[in-house]
A and B are shown apart, each in its own frame.
Chain A
């Protein structure tokens, strides 16, 4: 069964450092997403991406965050200068299409980010 692959599974970084989380979405999917889950809290939407541009973002997704699809297979989330509160599990997801009734998201296993 096709799956969304995320790397690294766990990253520890110092506050202020840049972090890049990587995702390989399902190959024929066209829509890509990042969600995050702070320990003990809900899974929260960060950003959606289609046709090489951001289609929607939440208030969490401020100037410290950016997303990119550098080639035909990878989708990355960059945090420019990490803060303690960025510590969370980050989930990448992808979907085939957004037409109403057909947009099923497939999630990756997540990347746990710990900021010290």
Chain B
């Protein structure tokens, strides 16, 4: 099955700096890669996602890049703010190919991001 590895496990930056979190996946059949942010006491919330037919996607201060050949994807947060402090999870989903695996996400270990004012 799919395996997703995420690094680093913790990341500490100063406000205004950029933060980069990297993930690798094992199954080349994966075609959907969401990133979730989890704040204390809340469930994971989708912040950005990318599909395998796209190499990069941006949404304001957040961007995700995908390298299908190397099977890795990264989350980039620019101009970090203290409210960006949270646990970030990457995930991957296998293409359905006639099955029913659309909801089965394989998650990375999570990265605890701390943004210091």
Residues of A that sit less than 8 Å from B by CB: 4, 6, 31, 33, 35, 41-45, 48, 50, 55-56, 58, 91, 93, 95, 98-101, 103-110
Contacts and interface: CB of A to CB of B under 8 A. Distances in A.
A104 B79 CA distance: 27
Contact of A48 (B104, B107, B108): B104
B43 A42 contact: no
A93 B103 CA distance: 9
Contacts of A45: 103-106
The 10 closest A-B pairs by CB, nearest first: A98-B102, A107-B43, A43-B107, A55-B100, A48-B103, A103-B102, A109-B43, A107-B44, A45-B104, A108-B43
B96 A91 contact: no
A48 B100 contact: yes
A20 B16 CA distance: 45
Given A100-B102, A106-B46, 9 more contacts: A35-B105, A42-B4, A42-B108, A43-B44, A50-B100, A56-B104, A98-B100, A103-B103, A107-B36
B28 interface: no
Contacts of B44: 43, 91, 107
Interface residues of B, number: 29
B46 A33 contact: no
Contacts of B31: 100
Interface in B67-112: 89, 91, 95-96, 99-110
Given A43-B107, A44-B107, A45-B105, A105 B100 contact: no
Contacts of B110: 42-43
B109 to A, nearest CB: 5
A33 B103 contact: yes
Nearest to B36: A107
A4 B44 CA distance: 11
B49 A98 contact: no
